[in-house]
Amino acid sequence: MEQVIAIQHLNKSFGQHEVLKDINFSVYKGEVVCIIGSSGSGKSTLLRCVNLLEKPTGGQIIYQAKNILDDNHNLTAYRTKLGMVFQQFNLFNNHTVLGNCTIGQMQVLKRTKAEAEEIAMHYLKVVGMENYIHARPRQLSGGQKQRVAIARALSMEPDVMLFDEPTSALDPEMVGEVLKVMKELAESGLTMLVVTHEMGFAKEVADRVVFMDKGVIAEEGNPEQIFNTPIQERTREFLKRTL
């Protein structure tokens, strides 16, 4: 299997507070990895380190056989290869749906407007938002906003999509439409790293589940292992509280 990203001995501290401790894992092409764990266990910080929204304090991130933390020249190129979907959507409120999905393509990837719009339209169809291209984010429901945010990230044609609790800011009735899109993306072979508290989604869609506790990976395995026969006591405790 082709390795897309490998995280090796990653550490992150904020001042004296060590939030990530010796994190090691890889993401393979076409794989869906779900990260679960209690609030405050470091899941968001890990995703933010992977896409360099936070600077790791130690360790390596290997991408295309290079430690990207060593090689300053490639940081921008590397970041364009990672799509990010946030809990709070982070859409540009002063742009239309189509504008949201083209601006990064034109500014960062230097695509022409016509190219960018064609690609954006493709991904807006994938998420079922092609009929809203002229709408502004404020006119959309939470579920629609999140689907646009997914289309925007996909429009950059990243190697990996990172999702940080993409459904936890949504009203319950909108969670399903976003999970459905994510499931379809997973089935289409997209490489995905998903922080989620949707255990049903993790069980059904993940190839691998990573359980984080207090800044470490406490346990990892396929969904059956983690959910049915967890080895660690703290995994069992977490699942008991969550399920």
> Which positions touch ligand ADP (CB under 6 A)?
14, 17, 19, 37, 39-45
Residue tagged 């960062």 (tokens)? 108
Measuring CA to CA, how many Å separate 106 from each of 11, 99, 156, 207?
34, 10, 10, 34
- Closest CB to ligand ADP among residues 23, 101: 23
Q: Which does 155 bind (CB under 5 to 8 A by kind): Mg ion, ligand ADP, none?
A: none
Q: How far is CA 155 from CA 91, 102, 151, in A?
A: 14, 8, 6
45 binds, among Mg ion, ligand ADP, none (CB under 5 to 8 A by kind): ligand ADP
Q: Determine which residue in the list 41, 44, 144, 146 makes contact with Mg ion, applying CB under 5 A.
A: 44
Q: Which is nearer to ligand ADP, 144 or 196 (CB)?
A: 196
Q: What whole-number distance in Å separates Cα of residue 136 and Cα of residue 52? A: 29
CB 45 → ligand ADP: shortest distance, Å? 3
Half-sphere exposure of 62 (CA within 13 A, CB side): 13
Q: Least distance (Å) from ligand ADP to the CB of residue 19?
A: 4
Least distance from C-beta 80 to ligand ADP, angstroms? 23
Nearer of residues 47 and 174 to Mg ion, judged by Cβ: 47
- Closer residue to Mg ion in complex, CB, 44/235: 44
Residue 145 binds: one of Mg ion, ligand ADP, none (C-beta under 5 to 8 A by kind): none
Least distance to ligand ADP, CB of residue 66, Å = 26
Residue 196 touches which of Mg ion, ligand ADP, none (Cβ within 5-8 Å per kind): none
Between 16 and 188, CB nearer to ligand ADP: 16
The smaller minimum CB distance to ligand ADP, of residues 36 and 101, is found at 36
The site partner of 19 among ligand ADP, Mg ion, none (C-beta below 5 to 8 Å per kind) is ligand ADP
The site for Mg ion (CB under 5 A) is made up of 44
